[in-house]
Amino acid sequence: MASTDSPSPIPAEPQRVDAPLTRAAVFLVLTVDGGDAAAATVRDTLGGLDDLVKTVAFRDMHASLTCTAAIGHEVFERVTGHSAPADLHPFVPVHGEVHTAPATPGDLLFHIRADFTDLCFEFEKLLLAALGSAVTVVDETFGFRYFDARDLLGFVDGTANPVGPDLPTATLVGDEDPGFAGGSYVVVQRYTHDLDAWQGLTVEQQEAVIGRRKFDNVELPDADGLAQKSHKTLSTITDAAGEHDIVRDNMPFGRPGQGEFGTYFIGYSRHLWVIERMLERMFVGDPPGKHDRILDFSTPRTGTTFFAPSATFLAGLAD
């Protein structure tokens, strides 16, 4: 006899939050212009995003082209027709005694990744053509892989990313918000570096700031008690439930002719509060007053929060 039970729901297919490290990336932040027509254009473009990726990726199937799209709180309902995810809210500035993490505009984020810059360029060109006058570009940053995944400060970046089964647990919303299961909260910040000041430190001083050895990336012991903590320690979030990981896919960027050198931070997390707590520890300090010393050499220029719905959710917008 055939079962009379209702079929189990098909789980949402996430976007490529876990895409492999690539050699090039574009971080594109846009605002959505007012009006129903602009919202409809954005909705149609998001609904057809997977087809656009396939169109460009077909030119080089080995180049690992992906695009993760994310939406800000202010336009989420207007663009998607759905109430915003439970924890989504605009980026909250973090004010420390010395440094501040500012909030800057942004309604849409497109995180474009590939092993070759030309594919990122071609995809961005077609994407912006599809969006047309519905959007305004507020930040466009081209990132590149620097040697063995190092930032421009000379240290390997992203070592603490979760892998294997820990990755979806750390990055993807689950049963706590079932309407948005398979999605991920995203925070982006564009930092510029004072390389002259940084290079004025000894290697040992730099390692104390970062919390790792520069040559081989081995972790250094954590500071005890009220001592100054390293960037590695301050950006590690633990509580009674254990350690809470995020996925970072940071990229260096720069224009030597303009004296611009930086790191574009992008963090994906199942829980937005994890990244917010990380920033609070960095800018306010732990204990308060002992901020992350990397901020003495790295200045945040932007700060925006988004939610990257599942690929299933985005495809549904086309309907």
Strand residues in the chain grouped as ranges (E): 24-32, 66-71, 94-95, 100-101, 108-114, 135-144, 184-193, 237-239, 242-244, 247-248, 251-255, 260-269, 298-300, 304-308
CA distance 157 to 180: 29
157 is catalytic: yes
CA distance 107 to 120: 21
CA distance 314 to 156: 33
In this structure, are residues 114 and 16 in contact, taking their beta carbons and an 8 Å threshold? no
Q: Report the Cα 128 to chain-centroid distance in Å.
A: 20
Number of H helices, E strands in the chain: 10, 14
Strand residues in 240-308 grouped as ranges (E): 242-244, 247-248, 251-255, 260-269, 298-300, 304-308
In this structure, are residues 66 and 76 in contact, taking their beta carbons and an 8 Å threshold? no
In the beta sheet, which residues pair with residue 192?
262, 299
Sort strands 242-244 and 304-308 into parallel, antiparallel or unpaired.
unpaired
CA distance 220 to 208: 8
Catalytic residue among 18, 107, 157, 245: 157
- 267 Cβ neighbours under 8 A, 6+ residues apart: 186, 187, 188, 246, 247, 248, 275, 278
Residues classed as catalytic: 157
